[in-house]
Amino acid sequence: LERELSYHSVSERYVLRDPLEGGEQKSFATLEEALAALGSVDSWPILVTSQLAEPGDYIVSVRASVRRGRLTDALRALMFWSDDWQRESEWYSWSLPR
């Protein structure tokens, strides 16, 4: 899952782009609205049922990350001075009973 969030200064809108969904774009008036949409994942296929052996329980783990190379030049310059900037979230795991 890969999404891109950018700010367009001319329109003063935040744009969320999903390359895996045919480049679909959604526009938001505030950063809070854009982040809420970015944090929502609906109907995302993480595996195919035929990949699961029967019977068994599974643990699903996900985390979010930001690629430094995709940041704006201004943000990349700020990251040079910050050693404690975290680009990955902690792992979030849950059980998936089969």
Looking at the structure, tell me whether residues 36 and 84 fall in a common domain: no
- Helices and strands: H and E segment counts in the chain: 2, 5
The answer to whether the peptide bond before residue 55 is cis (omega within 30 degrees of 0) is: yes
State yes or no: pLDDT of 98 exceeds 70. no
Looking at the structure, tell me whether residues 38 and 76 fall in a common domain: no
Looking at the structure, tell me whether residues 55 and 73 fall in a common domain: yes
Q: What are phi and psi of 87, to 5 degrees?
A: -100, 0
pLDDT tens for 73-94 read 666 666 666 655 557 788 999 8
More confident residue, 59 or 71: 59
Strand partners, 5: 16
Q: Which domain holds residue 89?
A: 45-98
pLDDT tens for 2-38 read 778 888 889 999 999 887 667 789 999 998 898 888 8
Looking at the structure, tell me whether residues 30 and 57 fall in a common domain: no
